[in-house]
Amino acid sequence: MPAASSFDITSTIDFQEVDNALNQARKEVGQRYDFKGVTADITLNATEKTLTLTADDEFKMNALWEIVQTRLVRRSVPIKNFKAGESEPAAGAKVRRVIPIQQGIPIEAAREIVKFLKDQKLKKVQAAIQADQVRVSSPSRDELQLAMHALREHDFGVALQFGNYR
């Protein structure tokens, strides 16, 4: 048995699932009566990790964002990683909303996770930030299970996935 057990905390988005959800959302928008004859565009830029929504007015924009969120949830894509902001005016009296997609744990959230684990006062549990993930290690697997449970209960602003448990 190894001297210390560990697990990694990550926050990843499966862009294939996002693309599938957006295709479903486009299909639903095309079939809905309240979107007949209006502009409602959904564009995913996977390289820049952004989602761009374009609609005629703010009311249609909110309805479009609601459809996209519903489809993302149905495809098990965490919507916490989509940081929706305010709409901005676009060409042709339209509105546009650019939504950045958070891939990986931002450094502020990683620091908050490390501080949270230290404040829990779990025996010999240590957390280390490694690029866009956090590795948590301890000689006791029971303490790691308690750490996972505590992390699931707390909201850090991004969806957390636990992996590489050994």
Q: In the numeric block, which tokens belong to residue 131?
A: 């690029």
CATH of range 5-12+104-163; options 2.40.30.40, 3.40.50.150, 3.30.70.860, 1.10.3470.10: 3.30.70.860
Q: CATH 3.30.70.990 region(s) of the chain?
A: 15-100
- Give residue 2's pLDDT: 56
Task: Give the C-alpha separation, 111 to 127, whole Å.
Answer: 10
Q: Please, where are the H alpha helices in the chain?
A: 15-31, 58-74, 107-119, 141-153
Q: Is the pTM of this model over 0.85?
A: no
- Give residue 127's pLDDT: 86
Distance of CA 71 to the CA centre of its chain: 14
Task: Give the C-alpha separation, 119 to 59, whole Å.
Answer: 44
- Give residue 6's pLDDT: 87
| In CATH, 15-100 is 3.30.70.990 | yes
Task: Give the C-alpha separation, 36 to 30, whole Å.
Answer: 7
Task: Give the C-alpha separation, 95 to 61, whole Å.
Answer: 7
DSSP bridge partners of 9: 134, 162
CB 105 within 8 A of CB 158: yes
The list of the chain residues with pLDDT below 50 reads 1
- Give residue 21's pLDDT: 93
DSSP bridge partners of 163: 8
- Give residue 72's pLDDT: 93
- Give residue 100's pLDDT: 92
Distance of CA 47 to the CA centre of its chain: 16
55 contact partners, CB below 8 Å, separation of at least 6? 38, 39, 40, 41, 61, 63, 64, 94, 95
Cα–Cα separations (whole angstroms), residue 93 to 1, 96, 98, 117: 65, 10, 16, 49
Q: CATH 3.30.70.860 region(s) of the chain?
A: 5-12+104-163
